Amino acid sequence: MYDPVKRAEDVARIVCRGDLRKYYRFRPARFYGGIATADCVGCCLRCVFCWSWREVVRPGAYGRFYSPEAVAERLIRTARKKGFERVRISGNEPSISREHLLKVLERIPGDILFILETNGILIGHDETYAVDLGKFKNLYVRVSLKGTTEEEFSVLTGAEPDGFKLQLKAIENLYRAGVQVQPAVMVSFSSKENIWALRKRLATIAPKFKDIEIEEVALYGDVEKRLQKAKMTPTSR
């Protein structure tokens, strides 16, 4: 097992240079009704079901460094060209480079919604991160919970179980900072009982969080092989 906060620090030394961050592609995507997407390199988790696995395990081998200005310009240009009203950073974990992320956000016009897809580990670890994000009114944060319990989190990510508490703390920190935030939960390896228990646990932060967004595993690339190797079978819903 590993400490995901410590891993974030280690990965940052590879994928961040000052306010520069590594990305491996920029693209329009169909999700959220159409969204301009920048796929970054480097994550503090190693989820067995990750669709961007090669960039997670070999962050030094992929991508190139971009400034916040360059990333924002590409996102805005794609959004305007395609008629999108949303942009995002996806692929791996956007929050690893705090300085870079905040500078990108500063450059996104108010009429474009920035969707931050994050595992929340670093935002849960440091509540001031949520306060900084709370300054942006055109920001929506989707915290992707890896399972429904500490034990599931550890099995799915290989990380220390307490990392799950940091994910939940991120939702709490963001909510208190006035950020639009929504929990999304990978449920493909969870029982109905555990899903229901998580709903109740989230509702202690705010009643509305009982309404979770459901995520299910997608067998992209070599995901199926990794699951077979780990002797894990997704549950049908």
**Residue 237: pLDDT over 60:** no
Domain limits, the chain: 4-229
Phi then psi for 115, rounded to 5 degrees? -100, 115
> What angle separates helix 68-82 from helix 98-106, to the nearest 10 degrees?
40
**Residue 233: pLDDT over 90:** no
pLDDT tens-digit series, residues 39-90: 999 999 999 999 888 888 899 999 999 999 999 999 999 999 999 999 999 9
Mean pLDDT over residues 84-103, rounded?
97
pLDDT value, residue 235: 75
How many Å apart are CA 97 and CA 144, to the nearest integer? 18
pLDDT value, residue 227: 86
Spatial CB neighbours of 217, under 8 Å, sequence gap ≥ 6 = 49, 186, 188, 189, 223, 227, 234
Spatial CB neighbours of 7, under 8 Å, sequence gap ≥ 6 = 44, 45, 159
> What angle separates helix 150-157 from helix 163-176, to the nearest 10 degrees?
110
**Of the candidate ranges 95-104, 163-172, 213-222, the one whose mean pLDDT is the lowest:** 213-222
4-229 is classed CATH 3.20.20.70: yes
pTM: 0.94
Q: Place 236 in a pLDDT band, splitting at 50, 70 and 90.
A: low
**Residue 220: pLDDT over 80:** no
Q: What percent of the chain has pLDDT over 70?
A: 99
pLDDT value, residue 182: 97
Q: Which is nearest to 57 in space by CA: 107, 10, 123?
A: 10
Spatial CB neighbours of 15, under 8 Å, sequence gap ≥ 6 = 21, 22, 40, 41, 42, 59, 63, 96, 97
pLDDT tens-digit series, residues 113-162: 999 999 999 999 999 999 999 999 999 999 999 999 999 999 999 999 99
pLDDT value, residue 136: 98
Average pLDDT, the chain: 95
| Helix residue ranges per DSSP H, 33-109 | 53-57, 68-82, 98-106
- Chain mean position to CA 209: 17
